Structure 1
């Protein structure tokens, strides 16, 4: 795909270097046991990025992929009108590569990511939210969490139940942000973030133990969906 994009950009009069981002390490969450190992160190995966920003499994900005993309430097040297033309050409060439290699239609990378996300959502709705056994496990899971003092919204679907903890701690992170910036802070020091991560790890392990039966069934299903979406769209679609 990248070579097709580079050739296409050259034909349109622009410099573009075929570049494939190194695949970012991803945590193994395919089994209950793997989830437990992850949560013992990273909790739900929210505050750990500030405690250990160089650990690629935290998803921190410092370990973000794409920072070494040579095309970023090319784009930075363009003036406003040149950059607009460059981006339009890049989107067009992206669409050409997607059509030729993946046999799909996407007129920009953003549209491609939305297409990929939609495919994932459809699979999760059918195979996870549509799994009657997973749905039946939620009441006992929720009751256990409430008994431990954790808040659980009512009538949650399996996908929402699995993401509940992450969402709750992301909300806590957002609350620490500057009201003017309206977003999560990016300047928490490891010492400032550590107490939040400790509470997050405790909550994440409680969530996992309360939902042991749930996650034993959920984890391999989610891993299967991840693998199939990547096989169809590529890891960097």
Structure 2
């Protein structure tokens, strides 16, 4: 079984109508969006003071093709092309795993992994402890945010993003109207969206299949995996047969395309604004948006 954070998946939700942030949907560069680089520089100085070498590392942005950029703005044709293969970006993680792994390598390798690997076992433990302390110090210095750990850092960013999405997206009267019309359309196709507010309509399809995938992982891992909650994390099965993964993906693709047909107008209005909200919240914490 593999665990995946919801924050990582949230990056996918804004770009393709199930949570991804495209370059086209990003706001103009601001000082806060340089926080990641600044945090890395402070971490390096802090580690040097503790007697360790640390190279500031920010993974290069993976350049999106023009079609994927269009999908991030709610372009119908681009979204349809993407969803026809990837669905809501859930079971496609299993079916197209090798393709995704190749893409993930394009951001470059973190040189600090080898730096730590060259240390003795005792030194590695000291390195990890020092790095955790330096990261917390850097985040506090650059962003003013007090975090206890890497997990706490992401959880706080998640909380801020959820608050802003509720206020700025669910509070938008035009988006509320479009989301309600989309929900009615999906109900007419035999689906049962949990709620009609904009953020729920954006994510309900993806969450439906995340829940299904999580339950498959629970069957593998038993009591080691907690029940699924939308607050995450969720787990991926590691022993699902390829044929079964493709069967689940086919079901996901069909629903994703129905969702797009009903939400054509909704996504065109929602995705650009959602991308800006996500980008700003993550940048405030110095977290890479991708």
After superposition, the CA RMSD in angstroms is 3.0
Q: Do 1:50 and 1:189's aligned partners in 2 also have CA atoms closer than 8 Å? A: no
In the other structure, the counterpart of 1:5 is: 43
Query: Shift of residue 73 of structure 1?
Result: 4.0
* Structure 1 gaps, min length 5: none
CA distance in 2, matches of 1:52, 1:141: 29
In the other structure, the counterpart of 1:175 is: 215
Task: State how 1:125-164 maps to structure 2 within 5 Å.
Answer: 125-153=166-194, 155-164=195-204
Q: Do 1:53 and 1:62's aligned partners in 2 also have CA atoms closer than 8 Å? A: no
TM-score by length of 1: 0.80
CA distance in 1, matches of 2:260, 2:149: 38
Instruction: State the number of aligned residues.
Output: 232
CA distance in 2, matches of 1:117, 1:39: 25
In the other structure, the counterpart of 1:37 is: 81
Task: Work out which of the two has the higher radius of gyration on C-alpha atoms and give 1 or 2.
Answer: 1
SS, match of residue 85 in structure 2: helix
In the other structure, the counterpart of 2:271 is: 219
Write out per-residue CA displacement over residues 37-60 of structure 1, whole angstroms, 9 at most, x where no aligned residue.
32122110011122222334xxx6
CA distance in 1, matches of 2:220, 2:94: 21
Choose which of 127, 130, 138 in structure 2 pairs with 1:89.
130
TM-score by length of 2: 0.68
In the other structure, the counterpart of 2:158 is: 117
Write out per-residue CA displacement over residues 63-103 of structure 1, whole angstroms, 9 at most, x where no aligned residue.
37889323334445553x65554333212211232244334
CA distance in 2, matches of 1:129, 1:61: 36
Choose which of 109, 121, 142 in structure 2 pairs with 1:101.
142
CA distance in 2, matches of 1:178, 1:53: 20
When residues 207 and 61 of structure 1 are mapped into structure 2, their CA distance, relative to the original with a 3 A threshold, is same
CA distance in 1, matches of 2:273, 2:243: 37
When residues 16 and 24 of structure 1 are mapped into structure 2, their CA distance, relative to the original with a 3 A threshold, is same
CA distance in 1, matches of 2:170, 2:268: 15
* Structure 2 gaps, min length 5: 1-38, 226-234
Choose which of 170, 192, 199 in structure 1 pairs with 2:244.
192
Query: Which structure has the higher relative contact order (CA within 8 Å, separation 6+)?
Result: 2
Choose which of 229, 239, 253 in structure 2 pairs with 1:201.
253
CA distance in 2, matches of 1:217, 1:64: 33
